[in-house]
């Protein structure tokens, strides 16, 4: 392996993470990084002073263009669209390339949907990869002062979700355990007591399986719909805890029509503020 190829392969996990966090899909992220490789392979390497910054800039530009196209496709998506989950215990190729991508919580991925393509790219590079503002300036073709405003605006929009993104896996695990027990008992009042008043529940079935066709809002609606669905679930489904995108989650394995990944995110008061339910078979690797 020559030094240029080696440089790319060393940076590949970071490039895959950037692409995944921008697009929310594993296969799309891999395809995009392959496109970045083709551009790198044809570039004049001697003229590239900082290969890492160059590769991240190229990948980010490709991701911005791809996300713009993807948003148009999602306008006809059946029901809410959610990012594809990554089960942390999967280490086989090519999944091992997503080691860095697993650090991006699904709740944060959802919150970033509020951002424009440029805001999302700037936020990811600055907050996740600690890129300096000169790098963002080169990427976006804007002054460093403008880039600071873009990152600040993106941070404010994400903060508006009132989700607690610095919650530890242990804290999430304890809250998820309480939630699981309350749901198993089908105790409406117990489940309701764990919910934030403005809790949001998002289900992605992709039109392939039954799922809520809109985002559910409020503790009463979320609790009522959730318990109604649970009462209809088969009793022989396998239910286990797993780490998904760095946080504990519930994985349900049954037939293709019943498979599901469910995870939560808390607010500052430690109540459930957001529920992620992935049921689309195309986004589940089991």
Sign, CA dihedral 193-222-176-113, equals negative
The pLDDT of residue 235 is above 80: no
Token pair recorded at residue 25: 């899909």
Residue 166 has pLDDT above 70, yes or no: yes
What sign does the CA torsion over 169, 231, 258, 19 have? negative
Quick check: 1 pLDDT over 90? no
For 199-210, what is each residue's pLDDT tens digit? 999 999 999 998
Give pLDDT, residue 88: 77
Q: Can you name the CATH fold of 3-159? A: Butyryl-CoA Dehydrogenase, subunit A; domain 3 (1.20.140)
pLDDT in tens, 87-133: 876 554 455 677 788 889 999 999 999 999 999 999 999 998 999 99
pLDDT at 233 over 80: no
Q: Are 15 and 7 spatial neighbours (Cβ–Cβ below 8 Å)? A: no
Domain ranges of the chain: 3-159, 169-283
pLDDT at 53: 92
169-283 has CATH 3.30.70.1350 classification: no
pLDDT at 232 over 60: yes
246, 169 contact by CB (below 8 A): yes
Residue with tokens 């890492």: 52
Answer yes or no: are the C-beta atoms of 225 and 232 closer than 8 Å: no
pTM: 0.92
> What does the pLDDT average to over 58-64?
97
């Amino acid at each position: 392996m020559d030094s240029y190829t080696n440089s790319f392969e060393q940076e590949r996990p970071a490039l895959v993470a950037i692409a995944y966090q921008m697009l929310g899909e594993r296969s799309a992220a891999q395809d995009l990084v392959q496109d970045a490789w083709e551009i790198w392979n044809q570039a004049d390497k001697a003229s590239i002073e900082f290969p890492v910054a160059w590769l991240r800039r190229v990948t980010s530009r490709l991701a911005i263009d791809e996300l713009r196209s993807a948003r148009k496709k999602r306008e006809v998506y059946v029901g809410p669209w959610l990012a594809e989950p990554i089960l942390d215990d999967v280490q086989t190729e090519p999944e091992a390339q997503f080691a860095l991508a697993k650090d991006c919580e699904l709740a944060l991925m959802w919150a970033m949907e509020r951002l424009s393509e440029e805001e999302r790219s700037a936020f990811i590079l600055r907050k996740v990869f600690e890129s300096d503002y000169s790098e963002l300036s080169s990427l976006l073709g804007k002054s460093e002062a403008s880039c600071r405003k873009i990152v600040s605006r993106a941070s404010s929009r994400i903060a508006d979700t009132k989700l607690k993104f610095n919650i530890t896996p242990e804290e999430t695990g304890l809250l998820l355990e309480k939630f699981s027990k309350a749901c198993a008992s089908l105790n409406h009042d117990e489940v309701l007591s764990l919910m934030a008043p403005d809790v949001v529940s998002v289900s992605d079935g992709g039109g392939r399986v039954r799922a809520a066709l809109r985002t559910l809002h409020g503790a009463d609606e979320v609790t009522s719909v959730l318990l109604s669905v649970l009462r209809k679930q088969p009793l022989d489904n396998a239910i286990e805890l797993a780490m998904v995108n760095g946080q504990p989650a519930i994985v349900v394995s049954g037939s293709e029509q019943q498979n599901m990944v469910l995870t939560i995110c808390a607010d500052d008061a430690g109540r459930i503020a957001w529920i992620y339910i992935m049921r689309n078979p195309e986004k589940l690797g089991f």
